[in-house]
Amino acid sequence: MWRRQSPDVERRRPGSAVMNGLLVRVAADQSRGGGYWNGPVDSRTRDFVYVPIPERKAVRAGHARPYGGVVPSLTRLGVALPAQFHDQRMHLDPDFEHLTYGDQGPKGKQLVRALSAGDVLVFYSGLMDVVARHLVYAIIGLLVVERVDRAVDWRESEWHRNAHTRRELGEGADDVIVVGRARGSGRLARCIPIGEYREKAYRVRRELLVAWGDITSNNGYLQRSAVFPRLLDAGRFMGWLERQGVEWVRQNF
């Protein structure tokens, strides 16, 4: 099985102590692929519901994940699952229960090029505030990288662990799976708002760009793009994150 990892998972790249970090936008949103809806957040408590995007590809028998699984969590925030999701399956990615994230094509290649053991994927979403009815861009989870695998190399006993291995994959599929470490990975019990609307787009708040050491996207741009924004100082970001007193949960909803 092909795995991109260091022999010692604590070791950084040869000659370097630099940690890499990518920001990855996930979950339902107002795009066609996102289901034309945003999952909810209560801005008073920062309680939120991670609602994955719809699955658009064929799924292996027995591996479909219906949206019914998210309904109890939505109900706790007083929100109903929209009708357009009722007959859909979830593309449950990232999968915080199994600490995995998958992608394919150009974005999959970015993951392979950028990530080694000890690097981080920071997941954020555009959530709809149930109090003020406006979008809240917030961090919802994180993976500390253990390794990066080719999805086609995973055995049948592992298929349930990620949306990309639940799919029917041909031999030439280029899907990759990032596997996270148990320690320091998971969904946040409460999200961390990071965005604001300025200069005609949602962007990371200026004071956070300073606290993190900046990111590669233009002026903190957070809306969807073909290239994952990269943390310019991932170690500094992780220090900031630790100071937020975050609580990790290893479950999706």
User: Which tens digit of pLDDT belongs to each residue from 108-163?
Assistant: 999 999 999 999 999 999 999 999 999 999 999 999 999 999 999 999 999 999 99
pLDDT one-digit tens code per residue, 1-29: 444 443 333 333 433 458 999 999 999 99
Counting Cα atoms < 13 Å in the Cβ hemisphere of 193 gives: 19
Give the pLDDT confidence score for residue 11 in this predicted structure: 34
pLDDT at residue 36 above 60?
A: yes
pLDDT in tens, 218-242: 999 999 889 999 999 999 999 999 9
- What pLDDT is recorded for position 8? 31
Domain spans of the chain, in order of start: 19-249
pLDDT at res. 227: 95
**pTM over the 0.85 mark:** yes
